[in-house]
Amino acid sequence: MPFQEDISSDQRGNSGIPILYEDNHLLGIVKPVNMLSQEDASGDPDLLTVLKADLKERYQKPGNVYLGLVHRLDRPVGGAMIFAKTSKAASRLSEAVRSRSFSKIYLAVAHGVPTRSTGRLEDLLLKDERTNTVKVVPRGTPGGKQAILDYRVLGEPVNGLSLIQVELLTGRSHQIRVQLSHLGCPLYGDQKYGAQLNKPGQQIALWSAHVGFPHPVTKEHVSLLSLPPQEHPWSSWPRTLYEQALRSF
C-alpha cells in the first residue's frame, strides 16, 4: 500500500482522524500526538472512544460499536495504528502480534550518534508502576522483561541529532525511549528519559511509520505507512529521505 502524505477530508471521517485503511474488518488511522490510545484515569479524550463514536455516526449503527485495540502508542507518539472492527479480526491480529508476524517500524530523532550505524539492542527492562518509568536492569533481575529492537541510522547527523529507524521485535512499555537512552542517544523532546538534554514543552520525536500484518480474513499483507509532520526536528532532513525509508518497508 503506497504512503499518502496528503490526506483528503473524505479520508478523515467525521472525527478528523486521518484514515489510512478501512474495510469490514479493520480500521487503520494516523494517531494524533499527545492523544491517549485508550481511556485512563485522567479522563482526557482517547482515540478508541473517538473512533467508536465516529464509526457509530458514519454507519448509523445502533447500540454499542465494537472496536478492538490491537496495539498501543504512548500518549506523545503519533503515526500509523490499526484497530479491529470485529472480535475475530482482533483475535487473529493479537495472534499475529504474539507470533511476530505483526511488524512495527518507527522513526525517531535522537540526541547524539550511535557508535554503529546499524545494530540490535537486547536489554532487560523493569517497569516501576508507581512512577510509570522503565529502566534497563541486569540479567536475572526479578520482574525484568526481555526487550529487543533493530535500528538503522538514516542520512547524516544534523546539529548533533540523528534520524533513526527502529523495528520493534518486542513490545515493552517505553521500549524505544528507554533502550535508545541507555545507548546514549535519548530521544529529542523526551522529558522522562532525556531531561538533561531536552527543554520543557518540546514534543517527543517518535513516530509510528509502518505497521504491517497479514489481513485477518484474506491473509493478504497489509502495510500502513505514515510520514512524520514537516516540522522541527523532522524537517532537519529532506522529505525524500523519509519517502525512501518508507518504500523499503
CB 1 within 8 A of CB 21: yes
Among 46, 54, 74, 190, the active-site one is 74
Residues 32 and 200: their CA atoms lie apart, in Å, by 20
Q: How many CB atoms lie within 10 A of CB 95?
A: 13
String of DSSP letters for 156-204 = EEETTEEEEEEEESS--TTHHHHHHHHHT-PBTT-TTT-TTT--TTPPP
Q: How many CB atoms lie within 10 A of CB 94?
A: 17
Report how far apart the first and last C-alpha atoms of the chain are (Å, whole number).
10
Q: Which of 200, 220, 224 is nearest to 73 (CA)?
A: 224
Beta-strand pair 26-31/19-22: antiparallel
CB 189 within 8 A of CB 234: no
Residue 124, all three cell numbers = 532487560
Cα angle value 50/47/129 (rounded, 5°): 140
- Write b or e for each residue in 166-178: b if 16 or more Cβ atoms lie within 10 A of its Cβ, otherwise e: bbbbeebbbbbbb
Question: Can 74 be counted among the known catalytic residues?
Answer: yes
Active-site residue set: 74
